[in-house]
Amino acid sequence: MSIPTDLSIYAQWAGILTLVCLVVAGLGFIFQWGIRFRLVGITGFMGVVTVGLFGLSLGLFSYTQVPGAAPFSVVYDNGANKAVIALPPKVNESEVEASLRKAAADLYSYGRLGRGDDKLTIRARAVTHPESGVSKPLYLGQVKRSLASREDENMKIEVFSERFAQLPETSNMN
C-alpha cells in the first residue's frame, strides 16, 4: 500500500471534513440537538488540524532535482556533520557525482551542529557481495559542504574512481 507523502492532499481532505463538521454543527443549532456544542468543538479542532496540515504542506520537505542522480537512501546521519548515503551497486562515476550533489542539497539544514568542524561530510557507498553470504561496503565518493551556507559554491566533491573496478561488471560503463 502506497501512502502519499504530499501533505497538501491531507490538508485538502481535512478541509473538506472541517466543512462537513461545520454543516453538521449548523444543523445541530437549527434543530436544537443536545450535542450541538460538542459539534462546535469538533469543528474547531478540525479547523486547527486543517491549518496545521496546510502549514506543513508549504515546506516540510524540500528536495532538489539533479539530472543524472541515482536513487539513494540515507543510511547514517548523526544530525551534525556526517552522513552516509547508499547507492545501488550498478552506478557509474557521473551518477555518483550527481547523487552526491543531490544529497548535499537535500541534507542541508540550519539545525546541524559542527562539533568542531564547519563542514558537512556526506559519503556515498554501495554494498558489494564478493562471495556468497558476504557483504562489503564500498565507498565510492564523498562531498564536503558548508554547514553555514545553503548555497555553497566551494563544495568539494571527490569520486573514488579506482574503486569502481570492484563493482559488478555491468556498472562500469562510463
- In this predicted model, what pLDDT tens digit does every residue of 87-107 receive, in sequence order? 998 899 999 999 999 999 988
Q: Say what the pLDDT of residue 171 is.
A: 45
- Tell which residue, 98, 139, 143, has the closest CA to residue 119: 143
Type of residue found at 9 = I
Q: Which three cell numbers stand for residue 163?
A: 574503486
Domain enclosing residue 41, as ranges: 7-57
Query: 41 in a domain, yes or no?
Result: yes
Question: Do 94 and 41 fall within a single domain?
Answer: no
Question: Do 37 and 78 fall within a single domain?
Answer: no
| Mean pLDDT of all residues in 60-78 | 87
Query: 62 in a domain, yes or no?
Result: no
| Mean pLDDT of all residues in 58-76 | 85
Query: 138 in a domain, yes or no?
Result: yes
Per-residue exposure over 25-60, b if at least 16 CB sit within 10 Å of its own CB, e if not: beebeeeeeeebeebbebbeebbebbeebbeebeee
Question: Do 111 and 159 fall within a single domain?
Answer: yes
Confidence of residue 130 (pLDDT cuts 50, 70, 90): confident
Q: Say what the pLDDT of residue 32 is.
A: 95
Question: Do 83 and 32 fall within a single domain?
Answer: no
For the cut 70, the answer to whether the pLDDT of residue 124 exceeds it is yes
Q: Domain count of the chain?
A: 2
Give the predicted TM-score (pTM) of the model: 0.65
Question: Do 22 and 50 fall within a single domain?
Answer: yes
Q: Which three cell numbers stand for residue 6?
A: 504530499
Question: Do 84 and 167 fall within a single domain?
Answer: yes
Question: Do 116 and 164 fall within a single domain?
Answer: yes
Query: 103 in a domain, yes or no?
Result: yes
| Mean pLDDT of all residues in 27-53 | 96
Q: Say what the pLDDT of residue 169 is.
A: 72
For the cut 60, the answer to whether the pLDDT of residue 20 exceeds it is yes
Q: Say what the pLDDT of residue 14 is.
A: 97
Mean pLDDT in the chain?
89
Query: 20 in a domain, yes or no?
Result: yes
The pair phi, psi for residue 36, each rounded to 5°, is -60, -35
Question: Do 38 and 78 fall within a single domain?
Answer: no
Confidence of residue 29 (pLDDT cuts 50, 70, 90): very high
Q: Say what the pLDDT of residue 75 is.
A: 95
Query: 65 in a domain, yes or no?
Result: no
Question: Do 85 and 153 fall within a single domain?
Answer: yes
Question: Do 109 and 143 fall within a single domain?
Answer: yes
